[in-house]
Chain A
Amino acid sequence: MTTKPSGTVAGSEPATARRWRSRRRPSASRKLRRAGWLMVAPALGHSILWIAIPVLATLVLSFTDYRVISAPRWVGLDNYIEIWNDAVFRKATWNTIVYTFFTVPVSMAVAVVIAVLLNQRIVGRTLYRAAFFLPHVTATVAIAMVWLWMYNPQYGLLNGLLSIVGLPGQVWLGNPDWALWSVIIVGIWQGIGIKMLIYLAALQNIDPNLYEAASIDGASKIQQFFSVTLPMLKPATFFVFVVSIIGAFQVFDQIYVLTDGGPANATTMMTYEVYRSAFQNFRMGMACAQSVVLFAFLIVLTVVNRRLTGGDDT
């Protein structure tokens, strides 16, 4: 038998009375727990309704032949086998990897340089920041229309510039050798703004004393950039890298407007194939399976990236 600090003897109170009291007067921790559940309920409900259930439904439907206009039919791994053997989806996967491989590092490198420049006290700094951020907040369809004009073989700006220096014009979006690179350039240009903004915020959190100390030690501005700025931007870089890869793998609207995946599937991407399966071919089951493959790619890339950066994102 143990004695409580208050002097009551444990076990002397009838069990029913204890239960009744606990129901009538919730303890502070239980109240706190209830309040906590109440607080997270909207977010939890949202997550279950709009994330967990659709993800689960996508996974289940990926094992079916679901045409929307007819009931789903269980086909096991058939969709995945078809994806494995599908030359067009393989091409889309390769295109997506190439697109990501070039747009993400290039736009990150450009963004960090611009962020460092715009972190200096220069005239019109706010204007420049807004200008670089503008492509991110402009509708991709509008951006793509402008680029369509720039890439136009007859009237476009690019061929106009080439003709000034005596070079032959190109069919930028109609030639399979150029089309993907043309799309990549748009992707790089459009992605700089948001990355620059994140880097700018991170730069402003770097302790000025670090630069002062480096300067006293005789470090040049370039040495300071590589020895102070870049290491201190590591958490931001991890975040930008992961988000950019996910964003690049989800590229869709500029393909939809600029090329429709052509010519001859030269610019088709994984997301565009998902769209084609779902809304052009009415094969929702296949589209779900392709989405699962895309999801798996992103998970693997994120884990690899985390390992490569030492798992330190704080």
Chain B
Amino acid sequence: MTSWTRRGAAALLAAATTSLVLAACGDDSETSSENGSGDGQVSGELTVLTPIFEGAEGKALLEEELLPQFYEQYPDVTVTVDYTDYGSLNEKLTTAVASGLVPDVMMMGVGWIEAFAENGILADLGELGITVDDLSEDFTPEILAGGVWQDDLYAIPIMLDTRFGIARKDLLAEAGFDEPPSSLEELREYAIALTERDSGGQLQRAGFDMLSMDLRQMYEVFLFAHGGSLFSEDFTEPTFNSPEGVAALQYLVDLMHEDRVEDIGFSSTDIDVHPLLNDRAAMAVGHNNLWIQLQEAAPELADQLVPFTITGSEPGMFFGGTLATVSAGSDHPEAAAALVEFLTGPEAALGANEQRGNVPARTELLDSEYVQNNPLVQFAMENLEIAQREGGVPQWLEIRGDFTPAIEAALLGEKTPQQALDDLAGEAREAMAR
């Protein structure tokens, strides 16, 4: 045997050994668990990636209250949970997909489904026995549409994050207003009247706070209120730079620069206490979970917060939310679908919403004690028919990242609203063409 032959044999042996070692270290789910017991009862080891159920409280809710109920129904299924937050969900999903270790069940936001469904990451729930028709009585059509891509159901909503106007009743009364503004003209008039500055011109109280909310979502409330939309009805063209979209952004720019109801830097999304709760703002675009912060930071204001729709040519309200999906590559699709059905069911969804102060997606939960005792959530649920979502195109995750700098550029006066939105629409078109 020549030296080359020996070396070749040694290399082959090394490769074989490595393969055996790697195989031994690899996923053993195929051999260690079955895909169903064959008697109608599902089984398997599931992994779940979730940006909700965060913190010790959320973990306790999921693992000590909810999952034990699931195990009672499905004793042959075990669930391993990977917790994250929405800030890190992109990274988690990207690395999971790139590594091929996609969790069996993934929670993701409204506007995310299109991209993952388009690329075959998500299982068509219809093939697992869950259809849009089955759910149409439990959810409003617009909310259910957040989980649908090309007429197929890929996700079921658990909770909604809504944005609408919130005002301080006591501060309105001080300025002589009995009710929150009912039109954009009134909103401007009230905001100007409620703004307070010291003798040096330093802002003490914003008449209308826009900066504590993510700028994209804040803008979308006004876009919808102006009768605008993000995309054309067939989702082939961006329409947020339409006259309605430009008017919406111009309205915000005017509030900031002409009416000076708030100054740049007065608030931000990083603040610990919302300005409505420490008298630094009289009105704001708010999130339904402000009620939770109120109970912790300023319970004495419980009777003073009043929600209202921001109404232009039509009432504007934005909703995002969290939906449960099944991976198309799951080894245990039936078990994963069972878990999705359980987590989106009335009892589990109610617990998850209560923990986060969110709006249940299921219409039947409007009558629950939790909703009836939370004025902001109750308001959101009662107005869900006017709420509009974002997304709709598979490139939304890419497009949405460019929104905030564009809105900032307009608010800072670096670009006109028309320029900012035209540039953004140009980037959106490029993304959609790719």
Chain A residues with CB under 8 Å of chain B are 23, 65, 67-70, 88, 148, 153-154, 168-169, 171, 173-176, 261-265, 276, 278-284
Contacts and interface: CB of A to CB of B under 8 A. Distances in A.
Contacts of B202: 168-169
Contacts of B265: 153, 171, 173-175
Given A67-B119, A276-B401, A278-B94, 17 more contacts: A23-B3, A68-B98, A69-B121, A88-B405, A168-B200, A171-B265, A173-B265, A174-B265, A174-B268, A262-B405, A264-B409, A264-B412, A264-B414, A279-B90, A279-B91, A282-B94, A282-B115
Nearest to B434: A65
Contacts of A283: 398
Given A68-B97, A262-B408, A282 B264 contact: no
Contacts, number: 67
Which 4 A-B residue pairings sit nearest by Cβ, starting from the closest? A171-B265, A174-B265, A264-B408, A281-B398
B373 to A, nearest CB: 33
Interface string B250-267: 000000000000011110
B33 to A, nearest CB: 26
A282 B121 CA distance: 14
Interface in B199-239: 200, 202
Interface residues of B, number: 29
Nearest to A280: B401
A87 to B, nearest CB: 8
Given A67-B119, A263-B408, A175 B264 contact: yes
14 contacts: A65-B434, A68-B94, A68-B97, A69-B116, A69-B119, A169-B202, A171-B264, A171-B265, A176-B414, A265-B405, A279-B94, A280-B397, A281-B401, A282-B115
Which secondary structure dominates where chain A touches chain B?
A: loop
Contacts of A261: 405
A175 to B, nearest CB: 6
A171 B401 CA distance: 24
Contacts of B405: 88, 261-262, 264-265
Contacts of B401: 276, 280-281
Contacts of A264: 405, 408-409, 412, 414
B381 to A, nearest CB: 31
A159 to B, nearest CB: 10
B326 to A, nearest CB: 15
A153 B404 CA distance: 21
Q: Which of A69, A175, A280 has the most CB atoms of chain B within a 10 A radius of its CB?
A: A69
B363 to A, nearest CB: 32
A176 B412 contact: yes
